Structure 1
Amino acid sequence: MKKTILSLVTAIVVLFSFSNASLAAGATYKVQKGDSLWGIAKKHNITVNQLKTWNNLKSDKIELNQVLKLSSTDAVPAKKQAAKPASAQKGYKEITVKATAYTGSCKNCSGITSTGINLKKNPNLKIISVDPKLIPLGTKVYVPGYGEAIAGDKGSAVRGNKIDVFIPDHKKALQWGTKTIKIKVYY
Structure 2
Amino acid sequence: MEDCKELRIEADTFEKLRRDADIVLQRALGTMKEKESMEGKVTITIDIKLVPDFIPNYDPQVKGETRKILKPKFDHKVTSAINIKNEEKGSVNPEMAMVWDEQKQEYVLTYVNNTEQRSIFDTDFQEAMNEPKENELPLLEGEVVDETALPGPVEGEVKIEDFREDDEPEDDGYGYEDID
Normalised to the residue count of structure 1, the TM-score between the two structures is: 0.20
Structure showing greater radius of gyration is 2
The structure showing larger relative contact order (alpha-carbon pairs under 8 Å, at least 6 residues apart) is: 1
User: When the two structures are superposed, what TM-score results if normalisation uses the length of structure 2?
Assistant: 0.20
